[in-house]
């Protein structure tokens, strides 16, 4: 891993994301790109004329303030000693993030989220979800402050359809960066039931031909896919959840129904998505 992109809106969640990115950068020796998108009202600035004398004083004032905030942000103690570059751009947030990830050839995007009650609320219906849907590189979503970020146990939740193996090697490479154990997880629900044998066969066919290192194979029954992921992750004290996304279909196809408030605290785990 050579480069990590961290969108920054100077919120506390952006700070959480930058902190996690810094821990990953220390392990992988990656460069961190901090990006702030300025979405100004129409008429304040013409993005096509950015950098020209046609920019209004109001736009330049916003730009100056953003750079000043970045100077403070880069002084956060966890960024000390790391290779960090910041950029302020005029663009719609999620479009700009995708464009910058391509420009910087980012290997990972780390984003903060204000989601409060589960994986669905954490990833769907927000700029984060738009980035998840459109990004060709993995997106790591961070929700809370993590005092000592570590990745020792990763849950990979999937339907294990053979056609979805396209991103599996990338997931294995990601796990290998941290020498983490991968827990393969198939959730059975009453609406999508499969026998243990059929589920086991599907998982084994899925992983056939890959070098997984240390892993476990798990079939878990629950009322919904989401609650199954969260309950299993809590049971094994997982550090991270990995999911696949189908581009513009997003993650919505994974979730049926909602979960109780008692699962709210269980959804604090970071979630990383890999596009199929």
Distance CA 262, CA 240 (A): 20
Report DSSP letters for 133-170, one per residue: HH-SS-EEEE-S--TT---SEEEEE----GGGGGGHHH
Would the pLDDT of 32 be above 90? yes
**Residue 124: what pLDDT?**
43
Distance CA 181, CA 232 (A): 15
Residue predicted with more confidence, 122 or 165: 165
Residue 263: pLDDT band (50, 70, 90) is very low
Distance CA 227, CA 257 (A): 10
What is the mean predicted confidence (pLDDT) over 166-187? Answer: 95
**Structure token pair of residue 56:** 């209004």
DSSP label at 256? -
In tens, the pLDDT along 40-58 reads 555 554 544 544 444 566 6
Partners of 195 in the β-ladder: none
Distance between alpha carbon 168 and the CA centroid of its chain, in Å?
16
CA distance 37 to 148: 29
Asked whether this chain's domains 3-112 and 153-275 adopt the same fold, the reply is: yes
From CA 184, how far away is CA 186, in angstroms rounded? 7
- Angstrom distance (rounded) from CA 172 to CA 166: 12
CB 17 within 8 A of CB 11: no
* Coil, strand or helix at 36: strand
Domain boundaries, the chain: 3-112, 153-275
Within 10 Å of residue 55's Cβ, how many Cβ atoms? 16
Look at residues 235, 230, 254, 236 and name the one whose alpha carbon lies nearest to residue 133.
Answer: 254
* Cβ atoms of 232 and 266 closer than 8 Å: no
Beta carbons of 119 and 255 less than 8 angstroms apart: yes
Which of the four pLDDT bands, split at 50, 70 and 90, describes residue 261? Answer: very low
The overall longest dimension of the chain from CA atoms, in Å, is 68
Say whether pLDDT at 110 is over 50: yes
Q: What does pTM read for this prediction? A: 0.84
Strand-strand pairing, 181-188 and 271-275: unpaired
Residue from 52, 249, 243, 233 nearest 160 by CA: 243
Domain 3-112 maps to which CATH number in 3.20.19.10, 3.40.50.970, 3.90.1300.10, 3.40.50.620?
A: 3.40.50.620
Q: What is the CATH number of domain 153-275?
A: 3.40.50.620
Cβ–Cβ < 8 Å for 251, 111 = no
Strands 139-142 and 215-221, bridge-based pairing: unpaired
């Amino acid at each position: 891993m050579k480069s990590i992109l961290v969108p920054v809106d100077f919120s506390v969640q952006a700070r959480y994301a930058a902190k996690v990115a810094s821990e990953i950068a220390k392990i992988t020796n990656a460069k961190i790109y901090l990006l702030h998108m300025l979405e100004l009202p129409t008429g304040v600035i013409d993005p096509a004329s950015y950098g020209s004398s046609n920019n209004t004083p109001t736009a330049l004032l916003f730009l100056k303030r953003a750079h000043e905030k970045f100077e403070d942000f880069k002084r956060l103690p966890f960024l000390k000693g790391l290779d960090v570059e910041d950029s302020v751009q005029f663009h719609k947030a999620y479009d700009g993030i995708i464009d910058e990830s391509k420009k910087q050839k980012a290997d990972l995007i780390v984003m903060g989220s204000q989601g409060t009650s589960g994986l669905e609320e954490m990833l769907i219906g927000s700029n984060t979800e738009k980035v998840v849907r459109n990004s060709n590189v993995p997106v790591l979503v961070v929700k809370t402050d993590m005092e000592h970020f570590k990745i020792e146990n990763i849950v990979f939740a999937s339907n294990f359809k053979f056609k979805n193996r396209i991103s599996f090697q990338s997931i294995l490479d990601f796990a290998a960066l941290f020498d983490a154990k991968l827990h393969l997880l198939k959730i059975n629900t009453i609406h999508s039931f499969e026998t243990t044998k059929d589920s086991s066969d599907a998982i084994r066919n899925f992983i056939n031909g890959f070098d997984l290192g240390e892993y476990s194979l798990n079939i878990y029954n629950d009322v919904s896919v989401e609650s199954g992921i969260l309950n299993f992750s809590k049971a094994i004290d997982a550090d991270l959840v990995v999911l696949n996304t189908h581009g513009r279909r997003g993650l919505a196809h994974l979730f049926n129904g909602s979960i109780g408030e008692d699962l709210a605290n269980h959804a604090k785990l970071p979630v990383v998505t890999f596009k199929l």
